[in-house]
Amino acid sequence: MIFKNSLEFAQSLDKKDPLNRFKEAFHFPQIDGKDVIYFTGNSLGLQPKSTKKFVDEIMEDWKNLAVDGHFYSNKPWWDYHERLAPPLAKVVGAKITEISVMNSLTINLHLLMVSFYRPKGKRFKILCEEKAFPSDQYMFQSQVKFHGYNPDDAIVEIKKREGEHHWHMEDVLNKIQEVGNELALVLIGGVNYYNGQVFDMQKITKAGREQGALVGWDLAHAVGNVNLQLHSWGVDFAAWCSYKYMNSGPGNASAIFVHERHLTDENMPRFEGWWGTKKESRFKMEPQFEPIGTADSWQISNPPVLALAPYLASLEMFEEVGMASLIEKREILVAYLAFILEEISRELETDFEIITPEDRGCQLSVFLHGEGKSLHKYLHQNGVITDWREPNVIRLAPAPFYSSFEDMFRFGQILKQGILN
């Protein structure tokens, strides 16, 4: 497609966009009485207007039914989390039995490490990307210390090449082969939070498993953003949050994937609790744990239904639209945003450097050479919400549910004025 940096062209794309109507399904912050242009869906998605209805339903049931809401509400609370598994399975390419919703992301990663980081003999090393998200780094360090290892010995980072801002698949695969039979676990962020790079999860999973390692993924920036086929790729486990592209609200519930080959492994270590037991025996208060036989076996406590309600509201929209349609729009939308940035850079003879490689999802990370945080502040004051990362990178993540092509054009005009000012 040949793009044009004009309002008319952007509006013509919006008219052809079958998802454009969903923009009206979200609440937008306003600055000076106008809806903002929102580029931080990679940090916190906007609130769907349907969310309040889902939360209010639980509040009414709590008010009117109290404890009986567990079993006699319209959506009984005791199995509320099970309603999220079918639509989530479609989003991540999994079987319903491989999905469970619980806790928050790093807690779930820690719980999954109990099962999948099982160092023994010389096989004790964890492979991750250089400068993984800080919470993942802290999790890795505390886990290897818990097992009695020095993080400097047990954690192997895949480095970027000197002077480059992204990873090469060749380097990832070579490092997996190099660590070889010392490798216990590969655990990488499927989409890097800083540069927006999408890793080839299928190839990396295959390579890690061929070396005898288990392979997991932190999918915080991937779920609801990129194509995932966790079951067919043979991924051992994964976890993700729900408040970025999944639009479920700040700090909201996480979800996990556990491949079906592990679900009936009686030797699988696991921290267990009441809600992971078989439903038919759960209220018999038996002293012995009987795993439910699905990913719900990793459930520990009864589900926080007030937190799950916004997630379910958002998932209804994903169910209606489907990931294929979201990805189709995303590819054109992000390409148009990149075109706008290149046009502004050329017009003003300004050096913008997009550090996100072609393997990307919704996010473009841009070095604003010669510009400082004052430009980020100017954008915010003029109705554009972006994310700033030191030293001078802005992250732009137009989510296809609520971002329009006209937003991309108007952002370019505001950016140009911010530079000229």
pLDDT average, residue stretch 162-175? 96
Average pLDDT over residues 47-73: 97
**Of 2, 7, 37, 42, which is closest to residue 339 (Cα–Cα)?**
2
pLDDT confidence of residue 351:
82
The set of residues, in sequence order, having a beta carbon less than 8 Å from that of 36 and lying 6+ positions away, is: 28, 29, 30, 383, 384, 385
Any idea how long the chain is? Answer: 421
Instruction: Provide the mean pLDDT of the chain.
Output: 96
CATH superfamily for 7-48+323-420 is Aspartate Aminotransferase, domain 1 (3.90.1150.10)
Domain 7-48+323-420 shares a fold with domain 53-321: no
The rounded percent of the chain whose pLDDT value lies above 70 is: 100
Please tell me the distance from the alpha carbon of residue 104 to that of residue 88, in angstroms, as a whole number: 16
**Domain boundaries defined on the chain:** 7-48+323-420, 53-321
Least confident among 46-60, 217-231, 381-395: 381-395
pLDDT band at 137 (very low <50, low <70, confident <90, very high): very high
Q: Contact at 8 Å (CB) between 248 and 144?
A: no
Residue 119 pLDDT > 90, yes or no? Answer: yes
Asked whether the predicted pLDDT for residue 337 surpasses 90, the reply is yes
Unique residue bearing structure tokens 């439903």: 279
Residue 64 pLDDT > 80: yes
**Please, are residues 76 and 94 in contact by the beta-carbon 8 Å criterion?**
no
Q: b vs e for 107-134, b when ≥16 Cβ sit within 10 Å of the residue's Cβ?
A: ebbbbbbbbbbebeeebbbbbbbeebbe
Contacts of 358 (CB under 8 A, 6+ apart): none
Distances (CA, A) of 125 to 49, 67, 145, 156: 46, 47, 12, 7
CATH architecture of the region 53-321: 3-Layer(aba) Sandwich (3.40)
Q: What confidence tens digit (pLDDT) does each residue in 355-396 have?
A: 999 999 999 999 987 777 889 999 999 999 999 888 889 999
pLDDT at 352: 85
What is the structure's pLDDT at 266? 85
Residue partners of 199: CB distance under 8 A and separation at least 6: 129, 167, 169, 172, 188, 189, 190, 191, 192, 359
User: Given a cut of 90, is residue 284 above it in pLDDT?
Assistant: no
pLDDT of residue 1: 87
Question: 3-state DSSP: the chain helix, strand, coil percent, rounded to 5?
Answer: 45, 15, 35
**Listed range (196-200, 321-325, 346-350, 368-372) with the worst mean pLDDT:** 368-372
SS (H, E, C) 107-156: HHHHHHHHHHCCCECCECEEEEECCCCHHHHHHHHHHHHHCCCCHHHHEE
Query: Average pLDDT in the 105-119 region?
Result: 97
Average of per-residue pLDDT across 144-168? 97
For 5-25, the pLDDT digits (tens) are 999 999 999 999 999 999 999
